[in-house]
Every structure is written in structure tokens, then in C-alpha cells.
Structure 1
Amino acid sequence: MSQYRTFTAADAVDYARQFGGVENPESLVESQEIGDGNLNLVFKIFDRDGISRVIVKQALPYVRCVGESWPLTLDRARIEAEVLQIHGEYCPQHTVKILHYDPQLAVMVMEDLSSHAIWRGEQVNGVDYPQAAGQLGEYLAQTLFHTSDFYQHPHQKKADVIRFTNPELCDITEELFFNEPYEVHERNGYPRALEPLVASLRDDDELRQKVAGLKHRFLSHAEALLHGDVHSGSIFVAEGSLKVIDAEFGYYGPIGFDVGSALGNMLINYCALPGLLAPREAADAREKRLRDVSTTWQSFAEGFLALAAEKTQDRALARPGYAAEFLQKIWRDSLGFCGTEVIRRTVGMSQVADIKNIRDEAMKNECVRQAITLGRTLILAADRIEDADALIARVRQNG
């Protein structure tokens, strides 16, 4: 901590010159602070021709949107860099490349993705990337299989569970996913008109029991090295390309959490689309989003099973049929965590552009109502939704 200092724009340029790996470091002359998140400073570094070349990201020792009254560990920068490096080893085509990181300064330099767009923004605007869902499923399969007990040596796995213990960031997840949306809490941010619906979440004993079980799994099931925050705002897309960024919430947890978080954000967008686009365009985009949900799961499941058949190292876990049985457990977990993601993004603090960009207040309330109702359904019915087709049918029934 003694070496830590908060970067200025000029500091970011100097650092990029040292560690950006560009052929002519002195050509880097300007930086622009682009971070819109809650935890970090993010600088885009430009050369003399105005072309952005690399990204410099520095963790702040507090939650940015709250201030120094909510302190955070700087070790999350190490965790983020190392998670992305490991994920990049197994899925380089879909993981942002880390060029350098310094744990003392809590700073990293990474590849510039200016040729890509943030997937959430594209979905909000109705722009479709047909290959992205399959690519996301591939990322999830590769990263989660290769860091699981199916592939890792038990000694390495146990050491890595310790190495990636991330208590402060996990505490944020535990509060925002499993506690605050089901309580009267000052950080919650739902429309006041929906108070009766939100109050019914707090009063639903069966729902609260299911959420308790999901939280327990998040706390105790160290199945693989998770990204920990897979959502459409942490994914960059271009024609034929997808890159995942922002892994500071990474830790060893239940595989279904990453998968469910990804699916949940697709379903939030599905619920929001009638408030974002004209009726015909919204209907078309909704069908594409349901296709993305199905494709993401199928790509992940097929990829995981193929890897298990080819690469499982543990003799017991290699038993024929076990990987498929385990995949059913992942599916049930994914549905439950998907439901908590939908609810926390509509009831809790972490609101998303899909909802915030809806201008008509009545329409926004209806979209949020549908999302909350869907999230509740997925949590309660996770054990009874057999496959992706059954999930799509449930979503359609929800409205």
C-alpha cells in the first residue's frame, strides 16, 4: 500500500509507455478516462494520430460511487489480472489480453478493444451479433472446465482456491444478490409503484428458502475459477468476435453462477425490449434474445461435455455418464442464479441500461414487473425446468 498512488491521466500515459508493448512508446501522448464503473479508474491511451492503443486500469481503494466510506482491498487487481491470464490461457480468443500488471500499484495494462462495442449497449439498441452467444458459451465451457476438479490436479486446485479467495468482492455479491433485494434496504432502487410486488418477495417464505440455498452454494461450492460477474456490460463484441473483461469478482465458486449470470442479463434485456424499441423491432429482438439464451447454454453444455470426454484427469470423475449428471446440477444452479441476477438488477442497487434507458415511466414499470416476476419464477421452479426449451416456454408464459 505504501507504493500506491492514484493515477492521473498523465500517469496513465507514462505507465503505458513503459508497459504497453507498443513499438514506439513515445508515440503515446494522451489519455482519456473512460471508466463508468463503481470500482476503478480506466484510461484509454492514444498515440499522436489519435488512435487508441492500450488500456490502463487501476483499482481504487474504495467503492467509487459511494466514496471512501466504503473501502475495498486493492488485491482485487491482482485477482482480476490473474483470473484473466488463466482464462486467457484456456480461451484466448474470447478473453481480453493482459499485457502487464503491478500488484503494488493495483494497475494493469490490457489490449485496447476499440474495434469492439459493449454488448449491453448493442442489445439496448437492438443490434444483433448472431455468433456472440455461441462464443460466450465456448468461453464459459473452456474456462470453467479447465479450472475445475475434472481437469485440475487436486493439489493445484486446493492451492488456487486459497490464491483466489476474494472475501471483500464476494461480500458485495453476497449482499447484492442474496440479501438486500429481499429486505427493506436503502440501496435498493426499484420503482415505487412496484412496492407491493417487491414486498411480496420479502414475504415469500418459499422464495427466501430457495435464495438461502443459492447463497449457501455460492459460499461453499468451490467448483471452478469463476469470472464472478459475467454480464453484457463486461463483454465486448464485434462481427465474429467476443471478448470478456472485468474479472475482479473472480473466485472459486459454483459453475452455475457464471452461467446463470450470463443468462440472466439476456433475460433482463428480453423483458426491457418493449420499452426500448418499436413494437415490431422489439418482438424480433426478443426472439433473437431467446435464441441467444438457448445457444449460450447449448454451446456451454456441449463444450463442457466434449472437454470432459477428452480431458478429464480424475479417474473417478471420468466415469461414463458422470459429467452429464453433473451438468444437470449446473443447469439447476444456473436457473436459480439467473433468477437472482434478474431480481438484483431490477430491485437492488446495480441497475442496468436496459431498464434505465426506458423513457416511458409506465412502460418501464411494466418491464420491471415482468423481470421481477420472471426472476421469482426461475428461482422457485429451477428444479422443474428440464432444459433450455422448457426455459424458453416459461419465459414466454411470463409475458
Structure 2
Amino acid sequence: MSVYHTLTAADAVEYARRHAGVDQPGALVAAEEVGDGNLNLVFKILDGQGVSRVIVKQALPYVRCVGESWPLTLDRARIEAETLLVHGGFCPRHTVRILHHDAGLAVMIQEDLSDHTIWRRELINNVYYPQAAGQLGEYLARALFHTSDFYQLPQHKKAEVGRFSNPEMCQITEDLFFTDPYIDHERNAYPPSLAADVAAIRGDGALKVAVAGLKHRFLSQAQALLHGDVHSGSIFVAEGRLKVIDAEFGYYGPMGFDLGTAMGNLLLNYCGLPGLLDLRQAADAREQRLRDVRELWLAFAGGFQALALEKSRDIMLAEPGYARQFLHQVWVDAVGYCGTELIRRTIGFAHVADLDTISDEAMRHQCQRQALSLGGTLILAAARIPDVDALVARVRQNG
């Protein structure tokens, strides 16, 4: 195991030469630092023609966008690599391929996805990938089913829960999703024009009780190995292809959290579209986002039920009709977690470009208000929204 030190660009090139397993490793000659997230160094490793061949990613011991005043565990790099390896074993088509990882150095080498682009960017630019939502649903169905009690033997599952214990990263989620937006906290960020909306959220006792329930399930339900941060900025797309990356928040938790986060990011884009496109384009794109939400859920639920019928190892969990019953609770959870994603991405610490890049200030604030209103509605009404068609209808009613 290597001793931790922060890699330079030259270090990253040498590391890739030694560990990437590429043909002619000496052809790797340069590194370009491209990390634009909050947590890590990310290098593209280039050959002599300037073509990116692999990615070297290293965890930093603090939140990059804040600095050393917010320290972070380096073990998240191990958990990320091992989560992606596990998910990739069950869904290689839609999981970024990990070529090498070193827990001591908190570094991994992964396949280059330069022929893909970040899904969030394409959603903002109104570039449509017709298979993406269904492919994401397939990834979630395969990854979550195969790491659940439906498929894993009990002793193995319990050992895996321990292996993927991720308390520091889970603490970030627990705070940023379920606590900070509902109290006066220095990490929150929103314009003064939203102050009344924020005050209404913080004063809504019923809403906060519902959020408390969602937080409690996040804390206590080890249903499957989650990705833990399924947003459109952690998904790469190309024509007919989709790859999920960035699983440093991986842990065993409630399946609805991954589903809800994914749906929430599609609905954040839905809320932002009137400020990103002209009136006609926005209306058409918003309808497409609703179809995407529907396709995502149906692909997940259909895939999960098919796997449950074919591959469930527990004789009782394989009982016909149980998987459908189980997925109803996953659905209710997903709707609630979707609502928390809408709220925390609007007034919390980590925002999204779908809203923040709207140039017209009045329109931006209008779109933000819709995200807050929709988020609160979904949290409170989750148990009364029976299926995805009812969810789509509720979103339309919200405006």
C-alpha cells in the first residue's frame, strides 16, 4: 500500500504508466487536470497526439471547494472504487470501468470517457438522448437488486454492509439533504428574494416531520449498496450509451434514495427550463423530462421485478407478488427523496447549473421557487402519489 501524498501532473502520468495496463505505456506523456467538483483531483492522461487514454482520480483529505477547514476521510476513494467494481460486475454496460485502485494513495485509474459528455450539460443545452433514462433505470435495477437481500446471502450481505460503512460521507448527505435546508445554517446559499419561501419551509412542522422520516430511513435501512449521489453531473452519455461515475458516497442504504436523487435531478432541469430556453422549446423539453422520469422508474421497476422472479435466492422474498409490494415502498421513499433533492439543490450548499446559470434574475428566482414548491409538495404527498403517472400529473399541477 502506498503512502499518501498529493499527486502532481507528472506523478499522475508516471502512475498511469505503471498501473493503467495500456499498450505502450511510454506513449503516455502528459496530464491535464480537469477536476471541477468539490472533492477530488482528476487528471486526463494524454498520449503524444494529445488523446486522452485514461483518467487518474485522487481523493483529497478535505473538501476542495472549501479548503482544509473541512477535512474528509481518504477511505472514500476505496469505497468509490469498490462500489463501482461491485456495480460494474452486475451492470458493466452502464458503470465506468475501474482499471486499478490504491487505498493508501486514495487513487484510482478508470476508463477515459472523452467520447461521452456530462448528461447535465446536455439537458441544459436541450440535447436529447432517447435511451438515457431507461439505461439509468437499468443500471439502478441491476446494481440495487444484486446487492440486496433478494440476491445476496445473509452472511455475505451483512459483511458487505460493514465493508461499505461510509460514516463521514453519509454525514455530509445527512446534513446537506435532511438538516441544513430546514434550519439557519451558514452552508445554505440563496438570494434574499427567496427568504420568505425559506422561512415558510423552516416553519412547516408537517414538512419537517416528513423529512425527519426520510432522514431516519437513510440512517437505518441497509437495503442495497447505493451509488449515493446519482445526479446528472455524475452520468456520462453518448449516442445509445450511458456510464455512471463518482460513487464516493456509496453505502448500504434505502433504494429509494438513489431513485429519488435521480428523479430529482431530472425535475430540477424541468424547473429550470423556462429560464434556459424560449417558451416553445421549454414547453416541449419539460414534457420530455416528465417522460424521462416515467421511463426511469418503469425501467427500474420492470428490471427489478424481472430479476426478482428469475434470480431471488431467498425462498420467501421470491414469493410471487412480494417484489411488487416491496417496490411500492421504494416508490414512496423515492418520491420523498426526490423532494429533498429539489429543496437542497435550491437553497442548500450544493446547487445545480440547471437553475444557477439562468441569466435573467427574475426568471431564475421564479424557477427556484417552483423547485422549492414542488419539493415540498412531493415530500408531503409521497404516500398519496400511487405511481409514476400520478407523479407526472402532480408535477404538472404544480406549474
TM-score computed with the length of structure 1 as normaliser: 0.99
Q: Quick one: which amino acid aligns to residue 56 of structure 1?
A: V
Within the alignment, does 1:370 sit opposite 2:370 as a pair?
Answer: yes
Match of 2:29 in 1: 29
Instruction: Write the deviation string for residues 210-241 of structure 1: whole angstroms up to 9, x where unpaired.
Output: 00000000000000000000000000000000
In the TM superposition, what is the alpha-carbon distance from 1:271 to its structure 2 partner?
0.2
Corresponding residue of 2:396: 396
- Give the CA deviation at 1:2: 8.0
Q: What does residue 231 of structure 1 align with?
A: 231
Q: For the residues of structure 2 that align with 1:154 and 1:275, how far apart are their CA atoms?
A: 49
Q: Which residue of 2 aligns with 1:332?
A: 332
Percent same amino acid among aligned pairs?
69
Match runs of 1:241-320 below 5 Å: 241-320=241-320
Letter aligned with residue 187 of structure 1: R
Q: Distance in 2 between matches of 1:372 and 1:336?
A: 13
Q: Aligned letter for 1:240?
A: G
The aligned residue for residue 4 of structure 1 is: 4
Distance in 1, Cα, partners of 2:147 & 2:301: 16
2:346 aligns with: 346
User: Which whole-Å deviations, capped at 9, do the CAs of 1:232-290 have from their partners, x for residues lacking one?
Assistant: 00000000000000000000000000000000000000000010111111111111111
Secondary structure in structure 1 of the residue aligned to 2:168: helix
Which residue is equivalent to 2:80? Answer: 80
Q: Which amino acid aligns with 1:355?
A: L
Offset at residue 320 of structure 1 (A): 1.4
Partner of 1:184, secondary structure, is coil
Structure 2: give runs of 5+ residues left out of the alignment. Answer: none
For residues 343 and 246 of structure 2, the distance between their equivalents in structure 1, rounded to whole angstroms, comes to: 22
Q: What's the counterpart of residue 120 of structure 1? A: 120
Aligned pair count reads 399
Moved more, 281-290 or 296-305: 281-290
**Residue 15 of structure 1: aligned partner:** 15
Aligned to 2:178: 178
- 1:140-151 maps to which residues of 2 (within 5 A)? 140-151=140-151
C-alpha separation in 1, matches of 2:352 and 2:216 = 26
CA–CA separation in structure 2 for the residues paired with 1:48 and 1:178? 48
Shift in Å at residue 316 of structure 1? 1.4
Task: Supply the distance in 1 between the matched residues of 2:275 and 2:335 (Cα, whole angstroms).
Answer: 25
Letter in 1 for 2:141: A
Unaligned runs of 5+ in 1: none
In the alignment, residue 127 of structure 1 is paired with which amino acid? V
Calculate the TM-score normalised by the size of structure 2.
Answer: 0.99
2:91 is the counterpart of 1:91: yes
CA drift of 1:52 comes to 0.5
Aligned-partner SS, 1:187: coil
Distance, in Å, in 1 between the alignment partners of 2:279 and 2:50 is: 40
After TM superposition, give the deviation of residue 318 of structure 1 in Å: 1.1
- Hey, which bits of structure 1, 4+ residues long, moved more than 6 A? none
Report how far residue 162 of structure 1 moved: 0.4
Counterpart CA distance in 1 for 2:104 and 2:344 is 33
RMSD over aligned Cα atoms: 0.8
SS of residue in 1 equivalent to 2:143: helix
Cα distance, 1:370 vs structure 2: 0.2
Q: Partner letter of residue 320 of structure 2?
A: P
CA distance in 2, matches of 1:154, 1:65: 40
SS of the residue corresponding to residue 397 of structure 1 reads helix
- 2:223 is the alignment partner of 1:215: no
